[in-house]
A and B are shown apart, each in its own frame.
Chain A
Amino acid sequence: MKRAISLSVAAIALTVIAAGCGGSSKSSSGTTSTTAAGGKGGTMLTVANAAPSGSIDTQVNYTLQGWQLYILTHDGLVAFKRAGGSEGTKIVPDLVESIPTPTNGGKTWVFKLRSGIKFSNGQALTGNDVKATFERLFKIGDSPNAGTWYNGIVGADACLKTPKTCNLSKGIVVNGNTVTFHLTKGDPEFLDKLAVPFAFILPASTPAKNVNIPPPGTGPYMWAQYAPTKQIKLTRNPYFKQWSADAQPAGNPDVIIQKFGLTPDAEVTQVENGQADWMFDQIPAGRLNEISTNYTSQVHINPLTQVEYMALNTRIPPFNNLKARQAVNFATDRNALVKIYGGPKLATPTCQVLPPGFPGYEAYCPYTINPGSGKWTGPDMQKAKQLIAQSGTKGMAVKVNTQNTDPQRSYGLYFVGLLNKLGYKATLQPLSGSIQYPYVQNSKNKVQMAWSDWYQDYPAASDFLVVLLGCDSFHPNSNSSPNIAAFCNQSIQAKMDQAGKTGITDQAAANTQWAAVDKAVTDQAPWVAMMNTKYVNFVSKRVKGFIFSPQWYFLLDQASVK
């Protein structure tokens, strides 16, 4: 997924900080995730520049900002364990009593709902609510992944054609508290898809159109107020009783507020002064030094599974030429990009698609001087110039498209300078954050080189490789085509399909296959992969018990303000 778009004012340097490093060999410097826990009660006051963009409907919103709050107010059938480190990638039962083993070749899943769970409006949770939730996913018409993630449910195809009359009685069979899912084919990622907010269970009475405030949920908090130009207010759900500390622990603060309207710079000042407990937006690069020197214990740096890259359009000149793409990869000085971000402690250069620590990751970097170690060490300008000469694309005009705020704009300027050095005629095309992403996906706009980034939706290699580089992810002339590079290589696609099939039965073998796919794709250079970043969280002095989950990042309600 992408982060929420924060509409910053003018060019305030935002730092996107994420480093992929899920607890394996590389260690993150600086403070670690957990600190001593505190007590219950109090109001946690958080700040963000703007409300999560788009609709606030739990089945539509696809922003980190929204998702971090939905996990506090709603539940899915299963959940990612609320813990830090690699524990947080495990799936545990949430609304169901236990995780079933699928039968029938992975096509049938029988879930038994826990009894006694109530929504925040007092209604009891039943199997009908589950069925109604999934039908609503299709009925509302604008749920982003209805057609791509949940189309495996029997009857979903018909729902995609005629959403308003969606009926999933064949795909979701309700028998009291037992809910049976029938899929059209096995899906090794089915549980992950049930654990994200799109599939969080809503009351069956929820109207089948976009809501202006999230509907009642089963979580420890409920949405008391959503004023998109002012604030969000979450208060305790009076009907919540903790049933699983792993899946949905009771929260510490009594009230959680998220106020909108300040610039990230002003937010930093507020957190420093104790007027806010946490800021959602990333710390502007110019303040990093200040907070790390004067407020060291309040800064938390955590690894992320994320990648930043420049997509190269593989279908139009000059980057429809493989040598040209590889040349740019060789020429890029990833150290400069790391500096733009905030330094080597916050970002690590990468040449490949998958982030470190991800299933299927094996370090691989051919685009460096002295390749072979798997790590990027330095640019090879000579090789780059050679390749450019061989490609015959020298002198062509290239437009580099990025967002118009820092650091993306600075990346863009760097690449403009680099391309000019290589002999192209490069210019920068900066667009506002809220329109850049759809713009670069649409092939009609003939974007040659565009910045983008990707955070995991859930820990599966396909979430990166297939979603961003699979043939099916390219939709010509559509604003919704996550394969920005328009990359489609038949033999690599076959390998992807194979790895997907293997994963149904043997995840470990599949991961080896995904690693091979990663290498093959990297060799084709549809991207200039830039770096994997780390996430910097800045909290106020009184916040205790900071836990960073690899899936949901800062777990707001597990910290205390008292």
Chain B
Amino acid sequence: MIAFIVRRLIGLVFVLFAISVLTFLIFFAIPGVDPSRSLAGRNPTPETVAAVKHEFGLDRPLPIRYGLLMKRLFISRDLVSYGNTAVKVVPELTAAAPITFSLIIGAAIIWAVLGIAIGVLAVVAKGTILDPLIMVLALIGISLPVFWLGEVANLLTQDRLHNTFLFSWVPPLGYVPFTQDPWQWFLHLIIPWITLSILYIGFYARVLRANMLDVANEDYVRTARAKGLSERNVLTKHILRNSLITVVSLFGLDFGVLVAGGALLTEVVFGLHGIGYITYQSFQSLDLPVIMATVLYGAFFITVANALVDVVYASLDPRIRLA
């Protein structure tokens, strides 16, 4: 087991290094993007531009520039954004992290609870009209583009139905920190939570239902029924528990992707300045330090999530450890 974990850790470091080099090379290839100009402010003299270039190490060879960037990012942590020299990248990301986490964790709770509930409901109601109806709704849920859904939600809650009792409580777009005003924090996040979770609710309901139907055909379930256990008992203790393994691993992977910045579209549409939003902005303005930081941050979380899920699986299924 330890060997397995160690192997995964080494893999993680290698992946991060490879991604950082890849990102650096990709963006270095962009022509005409000379950050020294925007760093030097408007209308600078050529001497000014040269001085700024030197200070930021932009006139050094590639490997040294890469090394400087990595050192500033990880070791001295004073990496500065190209867009605004008063902004330090690492603190900026750290400050944005709570916003992303607030969004994702809230949505995750909603989709986990509702997804499981709806999946179980569909199984219990198998044979009635409710089952296919639920599945159709789930299918629609996973077919909605999240950014479009967010726009429509904004249209209804901010404008069209804003003055009705339904949505008059909806505050303007943006984020309020929990420490500043918990109630406002909650109000600002409800609609984004629901929007983000609709896609996953549908998906998880379907997966869980399929898993449960599979498990329901297994021998041990038949045995449990033969023993005389109540249907409810069979459902929860035997079927549900065994079906949840797949769901849990999928959840880990999806959550990892979201933490990595996968909630970008939701953040952009709802004006939540989390990591995804900063990522998007940095790409727009070709702000290489921030790009590098956000990409590495994202890759880190995805790889860690993958590794964690693998570890969970390995601990449950010895065959995988040996692969």
Is chain B in direct contact with chain A in the complex (CB below 8 A)?
yes
A263 and B87 contacting across the interface, CB-CB below 8 Å: no
The listed residue with most B CB atoms (<10 A of its CB), out of A261, A445, A482, is A261
Interface, chain B (partner A; CB < 8 A)? 31-34, 36-49, 51-52, 83-87, 92, 95, 158, 172-175, 268, 271, 273, 277, 280-281, 284-286
B38 and A54 contacting across the interface, CB-CB below 8 Å: yes
Residues of A within 8 A of B38 (CB): 53-54, 434-435, 438
Residues of A within 8 A of B37 (CB): 438, 442, 479-480
List the B residue with the shortest CB-CB distance to A54. B41
List the A residue with the shortest CB-CB distance to B92. A229
CA distance A478 to B86 in the complex (A): 25
B41 and A62 contacting across the interface, CB-CB below 8 Å: yes
In the complex, A531 has a CB within 8 A of chain B:
no
Residues of B within 8 A of A54 (CB): 38-39, 41-42, 84-85
Could you name 11 residue pairs across A and B whose Cβ atoms are closer than 8 Å?
A: A141-B47, A261-B175, A263-B173, A270-B172, A404-B284, A434-B284, A439-B33, A442-B37, A445-B32, A478-B46, A480-B46
In the complex, A148 has a CB within 8 A of chain B:
yes
B284 and A432 contacting across the interface, CB-CB below 8 Å: yes
A121-164 contacts to B, CB under 8 A, are 141-148, 160, 163
**Shortest beta-carbon distance from A58 to chain B in Å:** 12
List the A residue with the shortest CB-CB distance to B287. A434
B285 and A7 contacting across the interface, CB-CB below 8 Å: yes
B172 and A210 contacting across the interface, CB-CB below 8 Å: no
In the complex, A212 has a CB within 8 A of chain B:
yes
CA distance A479 to B43 in the complex (A): 9
CA distance A62 to B48 in the complex (A): 15
Residues of B within 8 A of A145 (CB): 43
**Of A56, A160, A212, A266, which one neighbours B174 at CB under 8 angstroms?**
A266
**Shortest beta-carbon distance from B168 to chain A in Å:** 11
B174 and A262 contacting across the interface, CB-CB below 8 Å: yes
CA distance A433 to B48 in the complex (A): 22
Residues of A within 8 A of B284 (CB): 7, 404, 432, 434
In the A-B complex, list the 5 residue pairs whose CB atoms are closest, starting with the nearest. Answer: A479-B37, A62-B42, A144-B43, A147-B45, A438-B37
Given contacts A9-B277, A53-B38, contact A210 B32 (CB under 8 A): no
A228 and B173 contacting across the interface, CB-CB below 8 Å: no
**Shortest beta-carbon distance from B263 to chain A in Å:** 14
B31 and A435 contacting across the interface, CB-CB below 8 Å: no
**Shortest beta-carbon distance from B163 to chain A in Å:** 12
B86 and A228 contacting across the interface, CB-CB below 8 Å: yes
B86 and A144 contacting across the interface, CB-CB below 8 Å: no
The listed residue with most A CB atoms (<10 A of its CB), out of B38, B86, B286, is B86
CA distance A434 to B282 in the complex (A): 11
List the B residue with the shortest CB-CB distance to A212. B86
**Of A228, A261, A480, which one neighbours B44 at CB under 8 angstroms?**
A480
**Shortest beta-carbon distance from A158 to chain B in Å:** 13
**Shortest beta-carbon distance from A382 to chain B in Å:** 38
A146 and B285 contacting across the interface, CB-CB below 8 Å: no
Q: How many chain-A residues does the 8 Å CB contact rule pick out?
A: 54
Given contacts A438-B34, A442-B32, contact A148 B281 (CB under 8 A): no
CA distance A439 to B42 in the complex (A): 12
B83 and A53 contacting across the interface, CB-CB below 8 Å: yes
In the complex, A421 has a CB within 8 A of chain B:
no
A434 and B86 contacting across the interface, CB-CB below 8 Å: no
In the complex, A275 has a CB within 8 A of chain B:
yes
Residues of A within 8 A of B87 (CB): 228-229
Besides the known contacts A53-B38, A435-B33, A435-B38, 15 further A-B residue pairs in the complex with CB atoms under 8 A apart? A2-B42, A53-B83, A54-B38, A54-B85, A142-B40, A144-B42, A228-B87, A229-B92, A261-B273, A266-B173, A438-B34, A442-B34, A478-B49, A479-B49, A480-B49
The listed residue with most A CB atoms (<10 A of its CB), out of B31, B43, B273, is B43
**Shortest beta-carbon distance from A558 to chain B in Å:** 27
Given contacts A142-B51, A434-B83, A444-B32, contact A9 B268 (CB under 8 A): yes
List the B residue with the shortest CB-CB distance to A271. B172
CA distance A229 to B96 in the complex (A): 10
A9 and B33 contacting across the interface, CB-CB below 8 Å: no
**Shortest beta-carbon distance from B155 to chain A in Å:** 12
Residues of B within 8 A of A146 (CB): 45, 48
**Of B43, B172, B280, B285, which one neighbours A273 at CB under 8 angstroms?**
B172
Residues of A within 8 A of B49 (CB): 478-480
List the B residue with the shortest CB-CB distance to A263. B271
List the A residue with the shortest CB-CB distance to B154. A265
Residues of B within 8 A of A62 (CB): 41-43
Residues of A within 8 A of B285 (CB): 7, 432-435
**Shortest beta-carbon distance from A290 to chain B in Å:** 9
CA distance A142 to B37 in the complex (A): 10
CA distance A479 to B36 in the complex (A): 9
Residues of A within 8 A of B271 (CB): 9, 261-263, 266
In the complex, A60 has a CB within 8 A of chain B:
yes
Residues of A within 8 A of B281 (CB): 7, 9
**Shortest beta-carbon distance from A17 to chain B in Å:** 22
In the complex, A206 has a CB within 8 A of chain B:
no
Per-residue 0/1 for A434-469: is the Cβ within 8 Å of any B Cβ (1 yes, 0 no)?
A: 110011001011000000000000000000000000
In the complex, A269 has a CB within 8 A of chain B:
yes
In the complex, A233 has a CB within 8 A of chain B:
no
Residues of A within 8 A of B84 (CB): 50-51, 53-54, 228
**Of A210, A275, A478, which one neighbours B85 at CB under 8 angstroms?**
A210
The listed residue with most B CB atoms (<10 A of its CB), out of A61, A141, A142, A265, is A142
CA distance A228 to B81 in the complex (A): 11
B43 and A482 contacting across the interface, CB-CB below 8 Å: yes
CA distance A1 to B49 in the complex (A): 19
In the complex, A68 has a CB within 8 A of chain B:
no
Residues of A within 8 A of B44 (CB): 142-144, 480
In the complex, A475 has a CB within 8 A of chain B:
yes
Residues of A within 8 A of B286 (CB): 432, 435
